[in-house]
Structure 1
Amino acid sequence: MTVEENGYLLMLGERIRELRARRGMTRKALAQQSGVSERYLAQLETGHGNISIILLRQIALGMGLPLVDLVREEPEQPPELTLLMQYLSRFSPKKLNWARGLLENELESSGKTGRSERIALIGLRGAGKTTLGSLLAKDLEVPFFELAKTIEQEAGAELSEIFSLYGQGAYRRYERRSLESIIENNERFVLVPGGSIVSEPATFEFLLSSCYTVWLKASPEEHMERVVAQGDYRPMKDSQEAMDDLRRIIAGRIAMYSKADAIVETSGKTVEQSLAALREVVVSA
């Protein structure tokens, strides 16, 4: 292989590792879900993937297409969307954020959304979403929804069974349908989605455009402490590896979590202090 091809495999491996972390999946979990051995995944993530990947890339390059166009499974998108995406691709991150805000304001002014009445708390497990969300809903006298429970009701199975029997793809479909159902049937609420919802860009964008989102932010150490305090001792099985994975997950999701309308830092704060800060940003929405 050429130096350029080796560089591509390294880039591909890093990308796969980043996406796995963003979804909160261990290599073992990905191996179980994909049917690909942990050993091969380890090779792929360190830049030693199968040569067939290079051949597939060569075919894509030969047609002047990005590799993703060859492996895309979604239906062909409307030409208007294709042209719009090409136009937006020239924007800087700052201008993209401005354009998104412009569209959201247009929807707000046309009365098609009421985001400030629909509160969604995002963040990793252990940030205090369920505790603060239920208290906030009680204060506002609105329904409180945990998306995980709604998904289980929709699927007629627990989350662990959904993953083991049907895989990640089925979970994401239930997640989207459950979110759509809550928004369609409720004008006001407080919602707590799973921390990995940011890993599904289309669903996360729907959440952002439909709800006033608040990122409950905490340090990796506090995330770990709170999860253990909830009775889940699995992270302590290999505490250093678990902490490294947690830091990688947070790093991979920061860019998406930062798209929230507001941020409330819960590290080093009591529940009462965090709730007061949350109330303040919600009331000012």
Structure 2
Amino acid sequence: MGRIALVGFMGSGKSTVGAQLAEKLDYTFVDLDTFIENRTQMSIPHIFATGGEAHFRQCEQEALNALGNQSRGVVLATGGGVVTQAPSRALLKEAWQAVYLRATPETILARVLQDATERPLLQDEHPDVRIRTLMAQRQNWYEEVADVTIEVDEFSVEMIVQYIVDWLDARFAER
């Protein structure tokens, strides 16, 4: 059994796709943000408010390391910024099969504005500009860790899940 990590910008569908993929593969689904909240007994916005982004990224790296060392048969939905830290990118490349769910800034904006979840990095007067800026900064990092990239804008969750299953089957057949 393997480890599959879904990476991509906030709102790209990592949690939604991850849950359905895990069910289809009979794997355990783990949302990294939820794992961190349970581990620290604090919400993500509270971690950002009390320790800043640097502290959150440290919590994220520790959680990623813990999951990578002990978990098999897991689909992990990472946070959108997990790739900003070199040690986290190294962990993703070393211990996980990473699937990059790539969406356009327009898709991301539409999804996160509909989402009631508080997004600490979008507490900005111009979230559209912030999204484009962060996506541009992170693009190369997502590509660096990705074993496969899926353009998600035009596809249903079911289609994306099937694409990943087919990709995994093809990878397994190559071995």
Q: Same fold (TM over 0.5)?
A: yes
Partners of 1:227 and 1:194 lie apart in 2 by 14
By how many angstroms is 1:205 displaced? 1.2
Segments of 5+ residues of structure 1 without an aligned counterpart are 1-115
Within the candidate set 244, 249, 273, 2:129 is matched to 244
Partners of 1:231 and 1:221 lie apart in 2 by 18
TM-score (norm: length of structure 1): 0.55
Matching residue of 1:159:
44
Q: Would you say the 8 A contact 1:154–1:174 is kept in 2?
A: no
Secondary structure (helix, strand or coil) at the match of 2:24 reads helix
* Counterpart residue identity of residue 7, structure 2: I
Q: Would you say the 8 A contact 2:37–2:43 is kept in 1?
A: yes
TM-score (norm: length of structure 2): 0.87
1:123-202 matched pairs, under 5 angstroms: 123-202=8-87
Partners of 1:249 and 1:266 lie apart in 2 by 18
Partners of 1:233 and 1:277 lie apart in 2 by 30
Segments of 5+ residues of structure 2 without an aligned counterpart are none
Q: Would you say the 8 A contact 2:124–2:130 is kept in 1?
A: no
For the structure 1 residues 225 and 160, does the alpha-carbon distance in structure 2 shift closer, same or farther, using more than 3 Å as the test?
Answer: same
* Counterpart residue identity of residue 143, structure 2: S
* Counterpart residue identity of residue 81, structure 2: S
1:46-85 matched pairs, under 5 angstroms: none
Within the candidate set 259, 271, 275, 2:161 is matched to 275
Within the candidate set 195, 212, 217, 2:102 is matched to 217
Partners of 1:175 and 1:236 lie apart in 2 by 20
For the structure 1 residues 164 and 176, does the alpha-carbon distance in structure 2 shift closer, same or farther, using more than 3 Å as the test?
Answer: same
Q: Which portions of structure 1, spanning 4 or more consecutive aligned residues, are displaced by more than 6 angstroms?
A: 233-237
Between structure 1 and structure 2, the one with the greater Rg is: 1
By how many angstroms is 1:121 displaced? 0.3
- State, as a whole percentage, how many aligned pairs show the same letter: 27
Higher relative CO (CA 8 A, sep ≥ 6), structure 1 or 2? 2
Secondary structure (helix, strand or coil) at the match of 1:231 reads coil
Q: Would you say the 8 A contact 1:150–1:178 is kept in 2?
A: yes
Partners of 2:128 and 2:164 lie apart in 1 by 27
Deviations 1:259-281 (A, max 9, x none): 21000111122222222222222
Secondary structure (helix, strand or coil) at the match of 1:167 reads helix
Deviations 1:70-122 (A, max 9, x none): xxxxxxxxxxxxxxxxxxxxxxxxxxxxxxxxxxxxxxxxxxxxxx8110000
For the aligned residue pairs, the C-alpha RMSD in angstroms reads 2.1
More strand by share: 2
